[in-house]
Structure 1
Amino acid sequence: MEPQTRILLAISFFNVITSFNVLSLTYLTDKTVTGRITNGIPVAIGEFPYVVAIKVEGQYRCGGFIYNERWVVTAASCVKKFQNVLDRVTVEAGIVSLQTPESSQQVIRIESFYPYDSYDEFLTGPLHDLALIQTRSPFTFNSEVNFSYYDESSGEEATFIGWGIAETIEGGGSYSNELRQATITVNSSICQSAYGTSYQNAYMICTGDTQSPCHYDEGSPLVQNGFVVGVMSRNTGCDAIGTVVPTIYTRLSIYYTWMVATAGIQPLPSLVQLSRSFSEPEEN
């Protein structure tokens, strides 16, 4: 089904939507960076309005992105350990700093977690490392807080956005208090060499650079051409400067059917964006 056809069917299903917010899509730049994501380029408020911080009792634990008004996409490896402490978990949007409150900040509590049905860290490793978070109240969309569409990965260059740390907390590492971005390279062969059969290209995306996500970046988005194409699942760490770190991301397009069945459709784009061409995600 063509994307435009799918959108028109959604309009028919929900009658006619007469007002909706204009989506702020962020396009990739030709910036290059050195070092890890924690040493990447600082992000400005509104530059990636869909990126969120997932916190437990106010402490940052992983990232995600806004799917629609009541749902966030992240990694199952992030939320599985928080299943029994729902009342202590919040999603924070409209921020770039983890410490300094901002006028654009929206702090929303969690209703429930929905890890992908077949995910089992001990049996499947990084396979199906995907989860949806339902919030108790909706996000208020504006230029600082908004959702992102997702698409199939294409090309070799991508942007990763996150707050991750350079070392484990136990090892004395500290969070990157400011949201940062890094330009990285998609390269499936490096993960096939590093992870063997546990890396499945049909369900995963691989990057390998001297810039890479870090600990606690699970669930944070990988972006190409203004669309989220994956969420960070795992890597072997990012402590060694100059070391190529193979990183696995969950390939989002494969999970279209499950995401729609669980969280519903995404908001409609503006009339300008309606004409934007994007590929149809494969069904699982």
Structure 2
Amino acid sequence: MTMMKSILVVVAVIFCISGSFSQTGRIIGGDSASAGQFPYVVSITEDGRHFCGGFIYSSRWIVTTASCLVGKSLTRLNVVVGQLNLLNADINEQTMAVYTLNPFPEYDSTNKANDIALVRLTAEIVFDYEYVDFIEYNNEVDYTKEAITMGWGVTYEAGYEFLYLRYGAVRANDYATCGPFGNEEFDPTTMICAAGTLLSELPAGTPCTYDEGSPLVQEFTDPSNESLRITTAIGVYSKTQICELGRPIVYTRLSLFGSWLLNTAGPQPHRPQDSR
């Protein structure tokens, strides 16, 4: 089968800034992902153990949160791509060594402001051509429809990372949902506020510990081809107050950091229009 470098998708951000936000909890609801359903999602490991998520920006670059990388030594980190099961190797799985850690220069570890980072790999990712189904597409959050969040986060209070990738639907909300936390904890210009929703045919879910850095995605219509739907990362999971369905979730708004991503990692590659 044809092989190609993996590619993806970017745009938007959501993040939550509060030292009081809980680090325990669980992904409420959701469902198990199938092989190849989210080929852009990666697991970031320390000494072989998953601790954060991320997504493929290009064949050498991964997007995650800066909070995931604080205090970490790159020699102890790896990025695992093409993975579904944390325990057993998957058919497209590759474990990549890390070359550099690149947190956003203005990241504030006190309040988690500007919680975004890039990880540069030592070698290029190579995927089966049919395995990759996403490209870069620049658009803003659509508040009228659900978005999808995914990861290997804990499934019960104070638990361990889950062995299988799971996903769930959330809906972006207005400032009123996260506003009670105060302007220092939630800034609607740099963050996306969302909550797990039961108003969708998709399974609702709420991310928590070990899901940090994983993408929030929506589908948009390609302006050059209205029949083509483009899956786009609009945010990266930063924090939630309590890991319960309906509670506010905060993502870093990727659209705000487009220039930094471009200047640091270069442009994303594009796949042929007929590759779907």
TM-score by length of 2: 0.78
Which structure dedicates a bigger proportion of its chain to strand?
2
Matched, 1:205 2:205: no
Distance 2:52 2:193 in 1: 19
Following superposition, the deviation at residue 190 of structure 1 comes to 0.8
Q: Deviations over 1:211-254 (max 9, x none)?
A: 3111121100101111110000111131xx55x32111001011
> 1:246-265 alignment to 2 at 5 Å?
246-265=248-267
Partner of 2:80: 92
Distance 2:47 2:147 in 1: 32
Following superposition, the deviation at residue 146 of structure 1 comes to 6.7
Partner of 2:216: 222
Structure 1 unaligned spans of 5+: 1-18, 26-35, 274-284
Following superposition, the deviation at residue 144 of structure 1 comes to 3.2
Identity of aligned residues (%): 35
Distance 2:250 2:234 in 1: 12
Amino acid of the structure 1 residue aligned with 2:269: P
Following superposition, the deviation at residue 269 of structure 1 comes to 3.1
Following superposition, the deviation at residue 20 of structure 1 comes to 6.4
Matched, 1:43 2:33: yes
Pair 1:181–1:202, CA change in 2 (3 A): same
8 Å CA contact 1:207–1:248 kept in 2: the answer is yes
Following superposition, the deviation at residue 102 of structure 1 comes to 1.4
User: Larger relative CO (CA 8 A, sep 6+): 1 or 2?
Assistant: 2
SS at match of 2:154: coil
Following superposition, the deviation at residue 24 of structure 1 comes to 8.1
Distance 1:267 1:72 in 2: 13
Distance 1:200 1:270 in 2: 37
Partner of 1:245: 247
Considering only CA atoms, is the larger Rg found in Structure 1 or Structure 2?
1
SS at match of 1:259: helix
Pair 1:267–1:135, CA change in 2 (3 A): same
8 Å CA contact 1:90–1:109 kept in 2: the answer is yes
Matched, 1:236 2:241: yes
SS at match of 2:126: coil
8 Å CA contact 1:62–1:218 kept in 2: the answer is yes
Q: Which residue, out of 162, 173, 178, partners 1:187?
A: 173
8 Å CA contact 1:114–1:131 kept in 2: the answer is yes
Structure 2 unaligned spans of 5+: 10-25, 198-204, 220-230
Distance 2:123 2:171 in 1: 37
Following superposition, the deviation at residue 100 of structure 1 comes to 1.2
Which structure dedicates a bigger proportion of its chain to helix?
1
Following superposition, the deviation at residue 39 of structure 1 comes to 3.9
8 Å CA contact 2:5–2:125 kept in 1: the answer is no
Equivalent pairs, count: 236
Partner of 2:154: 165
RMSD: 2.5
Amino acid of the structure 1 residue aligned with 2:233: V
Pair 1:23–1:119, CA change in 2 (3 A): closer
Distance 1:164 1:268 in 2: 30
Amino acid of the structure 1 residue aligned with 2:51: R
8 Å CA contact 2:192–2:250 kept in 1: the answer is yes
